[in-house]
């Protein structure tokens, strides 16, 4: 049996309440609303640091901690505003639902057929790189491979070879400087689907970010370490507005909705004064 807060009727009523709340908040005010206060304690920050260290295995820098705290403040403000609607029963599941619903209600109700075609075409031209078909992209490269089974300090070995070859102006065939790789050292016009038969998705993502026409710093895979020379990247199909129009519409709506949400949050944020305990150790690097 579903819990009461998982029932569709509950979500419907909750959504209606938030619609009413947003409409009410947007109405002009004659009087200035009372300033609200939010206190961020040292224990709050310690908890954020603990989660960060668990995920990153390091302490955050001051900039990273500031961003972490601001994100925490953002969620707390959204939660406090949801609490003011008296819908919360102080359960973690409800807290998440309320935050997500409040974010959702900030989205603009833009009808697709109301968006001027010219505006979409301009958006496409400004963000064309985003719409290049990823699956159509092909890459040509060679690599020098270092097998951890053959080296006591594989990273030191790879970095040493990289220092020697990064000044070369030409590609050359330098695979002999490393170890044998079962799939070979030369790859010509290979796409992501074919690469996925050999490498992991995380390695492939890094590969397509590498610059062309030069040896790049060593990167790791599940096999070992690779120094890679990317000859070129090509797209087998020209990307035009016509063949990616649906993707353009989706991206445009996402951006518009995000901007609408940020405006709502900025207005809510300005209603709060925030105090933060700052005697928390951070990474000074």
DSSP 8: H
Under a CB-based contact definition with an 8 Å cutoff, are residues 67 and 43 in contact?
no
**Which CATH entry fits the domain spanning 135-235: 1.10.520.20, 3.40.50.300, 3.40.1080.10, 3.10.50.40?**
3.10.50.40
What's the rounded mean pLDDT across residues 65-77? 89
Look up residue 215 and give its DSSP letter.
Answer: B
Of the listed ranges 4-13, 43-52, 154-163, 217-226, the least confidently predicted one is: 4-13
Dihedral of alpha carbons 50, 44, 73, 91, sign: positive
Round to whole Å and give the CA distance between 260 and 74.
15
Beta strand extents in the chain (DSSP E only): 36-40, 137-146, 186-191, 219-220, 225-235, 272-276
The pLDDT value recorded for residue 19 is 47
Q: How far apart are CA 67 and CA 73, in angstroms?
A: 10
What pLDDT score was predicted for residue 264?
A: 83
Neighbours of 133 (CB within 10 A): 14
Most confident of 9-13, 89-93, 172-176: 172-176
Helix, strand, coil fractions of the chain, as percent rounded to 5:
55, 15, 30
pLDDT, tens digit, 9 for 90 and up, residues 37-67:
888 888 888 888 888 887 777 888 888 888 9
Instruction: Between 237 and 61, name the one with better pLDDT.
Output: 61
The boundaries of every CATH 3.10.50.40 domain in the chain are: 135-235
Distance, in Å, from the CA atom of 227 to the CA atom of 194, rounded to the nearest integer, reads 20
Residue 65: partners with Cβ closer than 8 Å, 6 or more residues away:
45, 48, 49, 280, 282
Most confident of 91-100, 111-120, 205-214, 247-256: 205-214
Cα 80 to Cα 236: distance, rounded to the nearest angstrom:
51
pLDDT of residue 241: 84
Q: How many CA atoms lie within 13 A of 30 on its CB side?
A: 0
Q: Is the pLDDT of residue 33 over 70?
A: no
Helices (H) and strands (E) in the chain, counts: 9, 6
pLDDT above 70: residue 107: no
């Amino acid at each position: 049996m579903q819990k009461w807060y998982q029932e569709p009727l509950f979500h419907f009523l909750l959504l209606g309440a938030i619609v009413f709340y947003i409409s009410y908040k947007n109405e002009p005010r004659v009087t200035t609303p009372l300033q609200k206060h939010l206190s961020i304690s040292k224990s709050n920050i310690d908890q954020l640091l603990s989660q960060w260290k668990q995920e990153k295995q390091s302490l955050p820098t001051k900039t990273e901690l500031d961003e972490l705290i601001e994100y925490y403040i953002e969620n707390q403000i959204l939660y406090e505003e949801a609490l003011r609607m008296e819908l919360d029963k102080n359960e973690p599941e409800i807290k998440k639902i309320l935050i997500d619903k409040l974010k959702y209600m900030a989205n603009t109700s833009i009808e697709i057929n109301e968006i001027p075609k010219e505006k979409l075409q301009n958006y496409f031209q400004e963000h064309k790189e985003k719409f290049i078909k990823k699956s159509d992209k092909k890459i040509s490269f060679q690599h020098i491979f270092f097998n951890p089974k053959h080296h006591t300090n594989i990273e030191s070995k790879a970095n040493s070879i990289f220092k020697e070859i990064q000044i070369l102006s030409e590609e050359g065939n330098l695979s002999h400087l490393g170890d044998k790789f079962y799939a070979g050292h030369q790859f010509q016009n290979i796409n992501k689907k074919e690469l996925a038969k050999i490498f992991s998705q995380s390695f492939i993502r890094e590969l397509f970010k590498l610059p062309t026409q030069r040896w790049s710093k060593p990167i790791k895979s599940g096999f070992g370490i690779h120094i890679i020379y990317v000859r070129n990247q090509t797209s087998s199909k020209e990307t035009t507005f016509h063949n990616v129009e649906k993707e353009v519409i989706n991206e445009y709506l996402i951006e518009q909705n995000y901007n609408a949400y940020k405006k709502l949050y900025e207005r809510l944020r300005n209603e709060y004064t925030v105090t933060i305990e700052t005697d928390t150790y951070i990474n000074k690097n």
